[in-house]
Amino acid sequence: MVSVCLAQPPRPLRERLLERALKGEAEAQFDLGKNYEAGRLGLPKDFVQAEKWYRLAAEQGEPFAQASLGILYGFGKGIPKDVVQAYMWYELGASLTASGDRQTIVEMRDNLAMEMTPQQLAEAKQRARNWKPRGAVSTDEQEVLAAMEVYRNAMISRDGAALDRVLGSDLAYVHSGGEIETKQDVINAIVKVTTVIEKIEFSNTKVLVYGNTALVRGRVDLWHSATNIVHMNVLHVWIRGASGWQMQSRQATKLAK
């Protein structure tokens, strides 16, 4: 008898890119920011997420991420306009870039300077002089956060295969109204579009890792539509097994608007 081993299909590129980004790879963080800004790779177009990933790469000295932050802040693309931050990031990006790319960044920086006050310009230059890169860090906490991001993106994009990977078989998914769903209930509700989620934002997130168990607590804002937004405190429990980190429990408490 000949046994046939069927290779597992590769994970989607966005998941592999996210994993690299959360391990601290500046190039992957920059690429993730670009894809959030453009809404590619099945990711939602999200300038807040783009700013987050550009910043992580920029703080490690990635010059194109620094220039991209300058553009977001300089033009107020999806985030509040901040000319001081924009000039600082342009200045840093130009100092670490050569040839034609440097000239483009310098032109954007100098055009921005014309709309700044002398005080703003002085502050931006001082921030650039004081700036120091940070080092990349790889921890269990980042792996858990990577799983949280896969879960978040899968809920928005209705990706049943990704949900199947990150949700545990014994999942108890407790809604803010008290309803409890199993893993299959959650997947069915998302894939069959009985539950529509346009956007999910995590904030004040705290990760506590105890061996192969991780607790993730924080605020979750969930958009079913522009007029139907649920604000919650949520506790997620993740267990690390042979397939990596999987969510085994989720408990939500609704907050006042």
Instruction: Report the sign of the C-alpha dihedral through residues 39, 45, 50, 53, in that order.
Output: negative
pLDDT at 12: 81
Backbone angles phi, psi at 199, to 5 degrees: -160, 145
Assess contact for 245 and 147: CB atoms under 8 A: yes
Task: State which amino acid sits at residue 174.
Answer: V
Q: Where are the beta strands (DSSP E) in 70-212?
A: 167-174, 180-181, 199-210
Cα–Cα distance, 84 to 130 (Å, whole number): 14
In tens digits, the chain (257 residues) has pLDDT values of 444 455 556 678 888 888 888 878 899 999 999 999 999 988 889 999 999 999 999 999 999 999 999 999 999 998 999 999 999 999 999 988 876 788 999 999 999 999 999 999 999 999 999 998 875 444 788 889 889 989 998 999 899 999 999 999 999 999 988 999 999 999 999 998 887 898 999 988 999 999 999 999 999 999 988 889 999 999 999 999 988 899 999 999 999 76
Cα dist from 33 to 16, 46, 57, 69, 159, whole Å: 14, 9, 9, 10, 20
Residue 127: partners with Cβ closer than 8 Å, 6 or more residues away: 84, 85, 88
pLDDT at 143: 86
pLDDT at 9: 60
Q: For residue 144, what are its two tokens?
A: 């858990």
Task: State which amino acid sits at residue 51.
Answer: E
pLDDT at 75: 94
Q: What secondary structure letter does DSSP report for 241? A: E
